[in-house]
Chains A and B, each alone.
Chain A
Amino acid sequence: MSVSARRRFRMLVAVAIAMAALSSAVTSRYVLSTLIFIALNAMAALGLSLVMGFAGQVSLGQAAFYAVGAYVSGVLTASFGWNGWAALVLAVGAGALLALAIGLPIFRLSGLLLAMATLGFGIIVYYVLVNWSGITGGPSGLTGIPPLALGRFRFDTDQRMLWLAWSLLLLLLGLAGNLVDSRVGRALRAVHGSEVAAEAAGIDTLRLKLGVFTAAGATTALAGSLYAHYLTFINPSPFGFAYSVELVVMVVLGGVASIWGTVLGAAAVVLFVEALRTGLPLLTASHGAPEYEIVAFGLILMGFVVFLPGGLASLRKTP
């Protein structure tokens, strides 16, 4: 095994052990659910990080894939009685297919137009979810989504979901890390370095970018599917443009194209939002915390772009 693969494996094992310990030691629902949401968000942001870091494109509609994952899983299991795992596989496939379908026409566009096109796409998906009430339950959403189960063993407690979410996240991190270290990853890094030179070296940059985008759609859909099975009910409101922006914030914070950075970024955002929600009402009485989080997000985003474009991950590198 190469040096970096060995190091990554050790890191993954360490985190796995830590999470296993936490899942049995901690009983507070609040802490457990926060950890679960960190994993889900990290999963959703992971693909986006590769898209932004290697394909060099911003997707402002990534929440759409999260929604697709959640709703495909939710509808198939709650309304049609499908097996949870089968629905999950289909949800991931749906995310990938949708990414491919939208990517094929728009990836030839220049960066800014592409970003706006993804924005438009994200909003259209949101609209479909809100208005196609027959299938999606409209604005009030879908309830009664069964938890995932392996035979008799149901993932219906926070501890079990924590274990599942983090296992899948760590697996994905390992796979992504391997990919980045490989021939394909080298091609991705080449495209990131100089698209012209990469093309001249025989790399089909369009196909590569599409591949990354499709993978991102799949991983985000996976996160969405798990989300649906965890909460057992879903409605469209968390899947709007605001969440797409949140995902971009996570990636920018963590450092684009940094696999571990994305986890840091997701953790930072989730924890920050929670801190605001609990802490701010103590300081001010008016308007409630979620609104302040928005201003803070905006300023943080601007600050990072100006002062720390490499994100948190770049702090690790020695100058």
Chain B
Amino acid sequence: MTLLEQLAQYLASGLVVGGIYALIGLGFVIVFSVTRIINFAQGEFVMPGALLMVTLGDRRLATPIAFLLAVGVVAGVGALLERAIHPVRGAPPLAILILTIGASIAIRGGALILWGTDPFALAPFSPGPPVWLGGAMIVRQGLWLLGIAALAFALLWVFFTRTYAGTAVRACAINPRGARLMGIRVDRASLLAWTLSGALGATAGAVIAPITYATYDMGLMLGLKGFVAAVLGGLVSPLGAIAGGFLLGVLESLAAGLVSSAYKDAVAFVVLIVLCLVQVAGWIPWRVAEEA
């Protein structure tokens, strides 16, 4: 393979993985912009999405139905978590962060009890050999991933810009007090944000499961990388998170291919530290939003 072909391959693989990070990062952004909470358990929305797909698939449910069910269940988990946090939402942000850490641990533990430590394989959504696009090979599931991600982004865009409920949520994100004065129920917006975030995470999990195995501890790393994607978008910009996700995916893929695959997972964290340094040093006019 020529260098150009290799680069095209890395780019293609990176975009596929980046789609996952984009979905997860978007989940972070939606919750943070409305509630100013960093949901440490975001990654643990991804994992049950994958594992539920596996279990429902074993029960011979058709893929689309299994998908909708898995997403629905985890969206419900997101809503439950929001209700659990609701009574203490006035607590200092660090206390809430610890709370979400606790939740993530509990969810992971619950998955461990239900599914054990074994990795589970899931059949791709449609059978067939990988596809060639411009000199790069993409597995079919990768196309499903990008397609479903694009669909999710489009649906959310329509929701946030064209529906009343979505616009209300955006208003809460911009100015909660002002929104409340206009009669918007900020509580409802918060619940909706967490539910959507759960759905996004589950979507990510469900589509990635056929590519990488589904295990009880897959959520941590994916969640952290999705967080880095969200940070690249300043934590409040959905477009930024999506772009950040794809960027991170490509960077990871390039690092793994050109440098060493051993340090692949470290790329995201190096990026995170660099971003933190950039914020402190003020080299470029990029900031992560402060807590309200």
- Pair from one complex: yes
B158 interfacial contact with A, CB 8 Å: no
Inter-subunit contact A106/B280 (CB<8 Å): yes
Inter-subunit contact A287/B279 (CB<8 Å): no
Expressed in whole angstroms, the minimum distance between the Cβ of B289 and any Cβ of chain A is: 9
Interface contact tally, CB-CB below 8 A = 135
A117 interfacial contact with B, CB 8 Å: yes
Chain A, interface residues (CB within 8 Å), range: 35 or more
Inter-subunit contact A123/B266 (CB<8 Å): yes
Inter-subunit contact A298/B109 (CB<8 Å): yes
Inter-subunit contact B276/A123 (CB<8 Å): no
Question: In chain B, what residue has the closest Cβ to A122?
Answer: B269
B273 interfacial contact with A, CB 8 Å: yes
Inter-subunit contact B94/A121 (CB<8 Å): no
A113 in complex: contacting residue of B98, B113, B276, CB < 8 Å = B276
- Size of B's binding interface in residues, CB under 8 A: 47
Inter-subunit contact A306/B272 (CB<8 Å): no
A124 interfacial contact with B, CB 8 Å: yes
Contacts of A291 in B (CB 8 A): 109, 112-113, 117
Complex interface bits, B97-124 against A, C-beta within 8 A gives 1, otherwise 0: 1110111111111101100110000000
Expressed in whole angstroms, the minimum distance between the Cβ of B42 and any Cβ of chain A is: 12
Interface of B is mostly: helix
Inter-subunit contact A302/B99 (CB<8 Å): yes
Q: How far is the CA of A303 from the CA of B165 in the complex (A)?
A: 33
Expressed in whole angstroms, the minimum distance between the Cβ of B44 and any Cβ of chain A is: 10
Which of B70-78, B84-92, B148-156 touches A? Answer: B84-92
Contacts of B104 in A (CB 8 A): 298
B224 in complex: contacting residue of A119, A252, A295, A300, CB < 8 Å = A119
B242 interfacial contact with A, CB 8 Å: no
Complex interface bits, A288-300 against B, C-beta within 8 A gives 1, otherwise 0: 0001111111111
Q: Given known contacts A105-B276, A120-B273, is B102 in contact with A300 (CB within 8 Å)?
A: yes
Contacts of B288 in A (CB 8 A): 110, 113
Expressed in whole angstroms, the minimum distance between the Cβ of B26 and any Cβ of chain A is: 17
B5 interfacial contact with A, CB 8 Å: no
Expressed in whole angstroms, the minimum distance between the Cβ of B76 and any Cβ of chain A is: 18
Inter-subunit contact B98/A111 (CB<8 Å): no
Complex interface bits, B145-171 against A, C-beta within 8 A gives 1, otherwise 0: 000000000000000000000000000
Q: How far is the CA of A105 from the CA of B274 in the complex (A)?
A: 10
Inter-subunit contact B105/A294 (CB<8 Å): yes
Inter-subunit contact A121/B280 (CB<8 Å): no
Contacts of B269 in A (CB 8 A): 119-121, 123-124
Contacts of B97 in A (CB 8 A): 58, 112, 115
Q: List 22 A-B contacts (CB under 8 A).
A: A58-B98, A60-B101, A105-B280, A110-B288, A112-B291, A113-B276, A116-B227, A120-B224, A120-B273, A120-B276, A124-B266, A127-B263, A245-B101, A287-B113, A291-B112, A294-B106, A295-B105, A296-B109, A298-B106, A298-B109, A299-B106, A302-B106
Additional 7 contacts, C-beta under 8 A, given A116-B276, A117-B273: A112-B94, A113-B231, A116-B227, A120-B270, A120-B272, A298-B105, A305-B91
